[in-house]
Amino acid sequence: MNNKLIVGIIGAGRIGKVHAASISNHMPQVQIKAISDVNFKAAEDVAKNYGIPFVYQDYKKILEDSEIQAVLICSSTDTHSPISIEAAQAGKHIFCEKPIDHNLNKIKMVLEAVEKAEIKYQVGFNRRFDHNFKAVRNAVKEEKIGDVHIVKITSRDPQEPPIEYVKVSGGIFLDMTIHDFDMARYLTGSEVTEVFAVGNCLVNPEIAEAGDVDTAIVTLKFENGAMAVIDNSRRAEYGYDQRAEVFGSKGSVAVSNDTLSSAVISTQEGIVSEKPLYFFLERYMSSFVDEMSQFVESILNDTQTAVNADDGLKAVLIGLAAKKSLSVGRPVKISEIG
Amino acid sequence: MNNKLIVGIIGAGRIGKVHAASISNHMPQVQIKAISDVNFKAAEDVAKNYGIPFVYQDYKKILEDSEIQAVLICSSTDTHSPISIEAAQAGKHIFCEKPIDHNLNKIKMVLEAVEKAEIKYQVGFNRRFDHNFKAVRNAVKEEKIGDVHIVKITSRDPQEPPIEYVKVSGGIFLDMTIHDFDMARYLTGSEVTEVFAVGNCLVNPEIAEAGDVDTAIVTLKFENGAMAVIDNSRRAEYGYDQRAEVFGSKGSVAVSNDTLSSAVISTQEGIVSEKPLYFFLERYMSSFVDEMSQFVESILNDTQTAVNADDGLKAVLIGLAAKKSLSVGRPVKISEIG
Amino acid sequence: MNNKLIVGIIGAGRIGKVHAASISNHMPQVQIKAISDVNFKAAEDVAKNYGIPFVYQDYKKILEDSEIQAVLICSSTDTHSPISIEAAQAGKHIFCEKPIDHNLNKIKMVLEAVEKAEIKYQVGFNRRFDHNFKAVRNAVKEEKIGDVHIVKITSRDPQEPPIEYVKVSGGIFLDMTIHDFDMARYLTGSEVTEVFAVGNCLVNPEIAEAGDVDTAIVTLKFENGAMAVIDNSRRAEYGYDQRAEVFGSKGSVAVSNDTLSSAVISTQEGIVSEKPLYFFLERYMSSFVDEMSQFVESILNDTQTAVNADDGLKAVLIGLAAKKSLSVGRPVKISEIG
Amino acid sequence: MNNKLIVGIIGAGRIGKVHAASISNHMPQVQIKAISDVNFKAAEDVAKNYGIPFVYQDYKKILEDSEIQAVLICSSTDTHSPISIEAAQAGKHIFCEKPIDHNLNKIKMVLEAVEKAEIKYQVGFNRRFDHNFKAVRNAVKEEKIGDVHIVKITSRDPQEPPIEYVKVSGGIFLDMTIHDFDMARYLTGSEVTEVFAVGNCLVNPEIAEAGDVDTAIVTLKFENGAMAVIDNSRRAEYGYDQRAEVFGSKGSVAVSNDTLSSAVISTQEGIVSEKPLYFFLERYMSSFVDEMSQFVESILNDTQTAVNADDGLKAVLIGLAAKKSLSVGRPVKISEIG
């Protein structure tokens, strides 16, 4: 037991459970020593399921445990940056769910704390670890499609979140598109310089009342001359639509949706295949396992994390630029933000 | 013979030949009486192939023939608007290749002449007649996907045109994207209000020297709240890439490329299927036949043409807005143009 | 006109019309001088449509016209062999619809007559000219999949024919599967040595009453060691199902069905694409044009026809072996037949 | 701990490891108490990996442990039936890898022992639990395709096994096709009455020397009038090819291969997608988890196992009939066997 990486989980909600399960089922080299949640009962339930010995209401107990080497920050978004800073100061390696914060200054304070503490920091952009998107990235990296000219990302949720969530989400660009902004950077390997966003409320008028849009198209320009376009909807009736295409000087690479089976039923009604996997937990389950594995490996082998705090910052910068672009009705340079 | 529609073809180049063949092979109710070309020899060759009795160097001879009821204007772009006006004044029904003109005032003069002459006028946006795009339009019209939220059009040529052509083409938006602008209007059934274009020269530096871009992403806003994005490249190494997707409140409809066969070859190298049909004449051949058929039917049955002079005007307006947007680096309203 | 190939069409039914249209629309080097049908009115209608100058009730009038160089035998199956012999004796080149006959001796007499007259003879196995099946054959010929090990052919009609037709059809193997037997020979380039057939009447009990089956699986062994399996149904509710796969030492090549468009509609109901083209005339139209073109070319260039009388014989031999196999319940060697 | 199902694993080879992993990672309600292997070191390694407390060379030690309620028989094929009988006599529930035996009498003795002991017995036909094949079965059961007429199963290995293995495998039909025989019964829900097999050695001549074939087509007739065809190859250069199609009175359902990602790369060389997952452990991993889960559930809930000893017998009967058919060159009725 004494050779294992010892971790604590802060936050026992949906995503905290996912990480607890991933580690328990797939990472014999890791021990989850403690879990905390402001809702103690929730933490207790997860602890029971996965044999986690210590349960707390206060995450500080986890930070105070000197045996714990790394923490997973899975609590609500507004706590990400303060807990990140405290955890860094306590010398813990940190896996933090996205986004680090909606506020640039707070993110920068996290970056400083991480740098000072010389700890590993990984942001939860799990889609980089997805089998499909990795295949696209690999095709780009191996120069199978040459220089990147155009990136297209389709990212549509099966259903809008509750309005109460929409109100505190930071808006579609910081809540939903932020994954796509990170994806665009990941697929191209280049930095975004300018953003233009159009958006509308076409799915649910309550979203407009909450000051947000539910349908959007965002155009990005990159340092290397490439361009990207992301299209988002909060509600695709056929399920969770997650596709990407990169087009370059030698050709293109594209990925389509995953389904439960490859069954095709042919009748008088038509040729019918299965809808995309509906829910992000089904669709991205193995990517959650893989991102956690790599976080663990980066600690055990003292290598760089696959998605660092700066990646967390960059995605928020693009999100803020998109937000501004939508509000002012013109393209916004990243250099105008922060 | 005397019940047939009698037509003349002005211009015996590539597209003139296509229409001559379509009529000869598929429209027994039409007689091509005459063909003209500034290159007399070219006209003579087409005439011989399709048994066209009269051949002229000067198109005016066709306009003067009172037996000829309709003309197909297949000459160079700069002649489209003046010949359209003359032909309208001569009382001929007109099929005119796209674009009517690059100049808004000239197009408006065509519209006036057409209205005054009370003749049929059809613009050569052949893609509206393509089996795939018609299937998308039908799904939208039959409300299978509900209200339109997002339109995506991918339109990539297999190879850039000769630089000499690029120089006189009016730029990528008026030469190439103009088809996509018309397609966006056709698929949504709504009018464009605002255009934002980004573009770059990534394929061939000579295109930049000629003052044009070869890679572009154009975002459109529509009156009905929908948004569209078009991505263009002058060179897709795998062939002519012509796809579209419309996403709406009930779901989406998408079409992919046509290939010569459905053959899939599976070996150690991978699972390989055929590239898209390479050339626009192969890809769109049956749409050329269908557009001509419908033009003929609209004359014989005295119905409206499927693509009228106003459609020709609208596509150019969007093209000019895109051109301006690229040059000024901000979204441009259609109302700013002309 | 005097350099054209002059042909006559015997039989003005469905397939006679197809060939008349193909020639009129696509083969300027051919003139159809005459058409005959026992139903004079039918012949007259086709003649009017395609401008065929001479119309007869008696096909012998066509054979007697010394200007006519080639005849297309599109009359009922029982007349194929006697007219073939007469036409050969009259020195006409012959395109004969499949099958030549159900009776081996009659087919052999045709072969003798053809050989003696030294004329071109082509059998109407149009599927060899289909874009998909040609792509499979090409992959095999170009050794992309290595030595052939397994061939799979799926051939299912959208609907059973009228029972009156079933009764005179010669049975499913000589009427329907005969195309697949020819296809198996064409794709492998090898000769069948043994046949095993299982069949059942599962679609329509009247077919059983007529002494036939409507669902069948036929296994073939080839000289070169390869094996094939054909599955047939007289009724596929989703349309005309025409697929093939060849598997070999280096991999496989497979073709799927053609559809009217590539449209895919995604909604709550599922992901729906188009059914196969329903009717053989839609599905195989371009193959009918191509087979006729090649027949014409083989006469004009004095080359071998693509599908000769021996090919017609071989397919019938396999069909008779399948029929016997089904009736005796064991594999039947081709050498047992005829 | 005392509410858990306590199991022992007999055999620590490839498949024993798979089951140990499945249980450890996914079944908290199961405890693996002991593992045995004639190769003690192999058992020890698995035990260490998954925290299994007891390790034996002799499987009898597992049978003697009265706390152990169920055993997984993952040892070599020749030991399946004797250990099954001993385990049944010891009152253990049994999960036994396929096939139970190659000898009918020995299988029947297992059936008797199982019946007498009133224990749960499940045979390792894991493919029934595969997401794709389950989707086919569900479509059939839910009558989406109506009455079953034709079943087609393609089952091709990526590479032939070592010749030493081929020699003791019982032949292709009992070793490889046996999965497909079970699949045919599973998909149709009907019993096989007659078998016809053709086969050849086309992949590796050493297989012929070992008295076996490496390429085969097997036709099955069912009680309900349906027919099936299975095609097998020991070597598909593009990977593990596992597909099925069921065609019925209302239409068809078909499944294709699984791949690592949906990436499609389009270049001048063609449109290339990924090869099927190469190895059966990758391809069927989740089916191994699911079969074990269901075995566990059937014990805990005292329900019938999903694949019982009779299913194990039936598949062997079909395999023996196929073997005989190939050797005598005619169809063989199941009633002729055993």
Q: Which of residues 275-294 of A touch C (CB under 8 A)?
A: 275
- Strands lying side by side in the sheet with B93-96: B54-56, B30-36, B5-10, B70-73, B93-96, B121-123
For residue C244, the chain B residue with the least C-alpha distance is B263
Record: contact B249-A200, CB cut-off 8 A: no
pLDDT of residue D280: 87
- Chain C partners of A270 at a C-beta cutoff of 8 Å? 238, 272-275
C209: Cβ–Cβ under 8 A, 6 or more apart, which residues? Answer: none
3-state helix, strand, coil in chain D (%, to 5): 40, 25, 35
Place of tokens 């955890």: A87
User: Nearest CA to A225 among D204, B207, B199, C299?
Assistant: B199
Record: contact D231-C219, CB cut-off 8 A: no
User: Quick one: tokens of C162?
Assistant: 């009228």
Q: Which of residues 78-117 of B touch A (CB under 8 A)?
A: none
Q: Rounded to a whole number, what is the distance in Å from the CA of C242 to chain B's nearest CA?
A: 12
Q: What is the pTM of this model?
A: 0.95
Compute the residue count for chain A. 338
Residue D256's CB is within 10 A of a number of other CB atoms, namely 17
Cα separation of C74 and D207, whole Å?
51
D17: Cβ–Cβ under 8 A, 6 or more apart, which residues? Answer: D46
CB contact B215 to A (< 8 Å)? yes
From the number of C-beta atoms within 10 Å of its C-beta (0-12, 13-18, 19+), residue A300 rates as middle
Say whether C1 sits in a helix, a strand or coil: coil
pLDDT of residue C281: 86
Partnered with residue B97 across adjacent β-strands are none
Nearest to A266 among C238, C266, C268 (CB): C238
B69: Cβ–Cβ under 8 A, 6 or more apart, which residues? Answer: B5, B6, B7, B92, B93, B299
From the number of C-beta atoms within 10 Å of its C-beta (0-12, 13-18, 19+), residue C169 rates as middle
CB contact A219 to B (< 8 Å)? yes
Size of interface A-D (CB pairs under 8 A): 87
At B281, is the pLDDT very low, low, confident or very high (cuts 50, 70, 90)? confident
Record: contact C247-D237, CB cut-off 8 A: no
List Cα–Cα distances, B39 to A103, B43, B45, B94, in angstroms.
68, 7, 10, 22
Cα separation of the two ends of chain A: 46
Place of tokens 């048994």: B51
Record: contact C271-A268, CB cut-off 8 A: no
Q: What is the longest distance spanned by two Cα atoms in chain B? A: 66
What share of chain B in percent tops pLDDT 90?
96
Quote the DSSP letter at residue D103.
S
CB contact C45 to B (< 8 Å)? no
CB contact D165 to C (< 8 Å)? no
Nearest to D237 among C150, C233, C251 (CB): C251
- Chain A partners of B228 at a C-beta cutoff of 8 Å? 217
The amino acid at residue D9 is I
User: Nearest CA to D227 among B241, A33, C230, A300?
Assistant: C230
- List of chain C residues with pLDDT < 70: 1-2
Mutation target to probe the A interface, by most A beta carbons within 10 A, among D256, D258, D266, D289 is: D266
Record: contact C251-D233, CB cut-off 8 A: no
Rg of chain A over all Cα atoms, to the nearest angstrom: 20
Q: Tell me: the pLDDT tens digits for D161-180?
A: 999 999 999 999 999 999 99
- Chain C partners of A273 at a C-beta cutoff of 8 Å? 270-271, 273
Q: Which chains touch A (3+ CB pairs under 8 A)?
A: B, C, D
Partnered with residue D147 across adjacent β-strands are none
- Chain C partners of B261 at a C-beta cutoff of 8 Å? 131-132, 134-135, 255
Q: What is the ipTM of this complex?
A: 0.95
CB contact A326 to B (< 8 Å)? no
Record: contact B270-D273, CB cut-off 8 A: yes
If you average pLDDT over residues D33-39, what whole number do you get? Answer: 98
CB burial readout D174-210, b (16+ within 10 A) else e: bbbbbbbbbbbbbbbebebbbbbbbbbbbbbeebeeb
- Strands lying side by side in the sheet with C121-123: C54-56, C30-36, C5-10, C70-73, C93-96, C121-123
Could you write out the DSSP letters of every residue in D121-133? EEE--GGGGSHHH
Q: What is the 3-state secondary structure (H, E, C) of chain B?
A: CCCCEEEEEECCCHHHHHHHHHHHHHCCCEEEEEEECCCHHHHHHHHHHHCCCEEECCCHHHHHCCCCCEEEECCCHHHHHHHHHHHHHCCCEEEECCCCCCCHHHHHHHHHHHHHHCCCEEECCHHHHCHHHHHHHHHHHCCCCCCEEEEEEEEECCCCCCHHHHHHCCCHHHHCHHHHHHHHHHHHCCCEEEEEEEEECCCCHHHHHCCCCCEEEEEEEECCCCEEEEEEECCCCCCCEEEEEEEECCEEEEECCCECCCCEEEECCEEEECCECCCHHHHHHHHHHHHHHHHHHHHHCCCCCCCCHHHHHHHHHHHHHHHHHHHHCCCEEHHHCC
- Chain C partners of B26 at a C-beta cutoff of 8 Å? 25
List Cα–Cα distances, C276 to A24, B244, B299, in angstroms.
49, 21, 34
Say whether C293 sits in a helix, a strand or coil: helix
The three-point CA angle B19-B21-B23 to 5° equals: 70
From the number of C-beta atoms within 10 Å of its C-beta (0-12, 13-18, 19+), residue B61 rates as middle
- List of chain A residues with pLDDT < 70: 1-2
Nearest to B274 among D238, D270, D275 (CB): D270
Contact between residue D271 and residue B239 where contact means Cβ atoms under 8 Å apart: no
Half-sphere exposure in the Cβ direction for A149 (13 Å, CA) = 28
Nearest to A25 among D26, D49, D254 (CB): D26
Size of interface A-C (CB pairs under 8 A): 40
List Cα–Cα distances, C169 to A14, C77, C177, in angstroms.
66, 9, 12
Nearest to B329 among A229, A251, A331 (CB): A331
CB contact B198 to C (< 8 Å)? no
Cα separation of D187 and D208, whole Å?
32
Record: contact A238-C266, CB cut-off 8 A: yes
- Chain B partners of C245 at a C-beta cutoff of 8 Å? none
Quote the DSSP letter at residue A99.
P
Quote the DSSP letter at residue A284.
H
User: Quick one: tokens of A291?
Assistant: 């991102």
CB contact A23 to D (< 8 Å)? no
Cα separation of A135 and B263, whole Å?
24
CB contact C237 to A (< 8 Å)? yes
The amino acid at residue D289 is V
Q: Rounded to a whole number, what is the distance in Å from the CA of A293 to chain B's nearest CA?
A: 29
- Chain B partners of A202 at a C-beta cutoff of 8 Å? 147, 149, 225-226, 249
pLDDT of residue C1: 39
Q: Rounded to a whole number, what is the distance in Å from the CA of C279 to chain A's nearest CA?
A: 14
pLDDT of residue A1: 38
User: Nearest CA to B140 among B58, B247, B48?
Assistant: B247
Compute the residue count for chain D. 338
pLDDT of residue A115: 97
- Chain C partners of A258 at a C-beta cutoff of 8 Å? none
- Is the predicted pLDDT of residue D278 greater than 90, yes or no? no
Q: Rounded to a whole number, what is the distance in Å from the CA of A172 to chain B's nearest CA?
A: 16
CB contact B1 to D (< 8 Å)? no
What share of chain D in percent tops pLDDT 70?
99
User: Quick one: tokens of D150?
Assistant: 């034709």
Q: Tell me: the pLDDT tens digits for B203-253?
A: 999 999 999 999 999 999 999 999 999 999 999 999 999 999 999 999 999
At B307, is the pLDDT very low, low, confident or very high (cuts 50, 70, 90)? very high
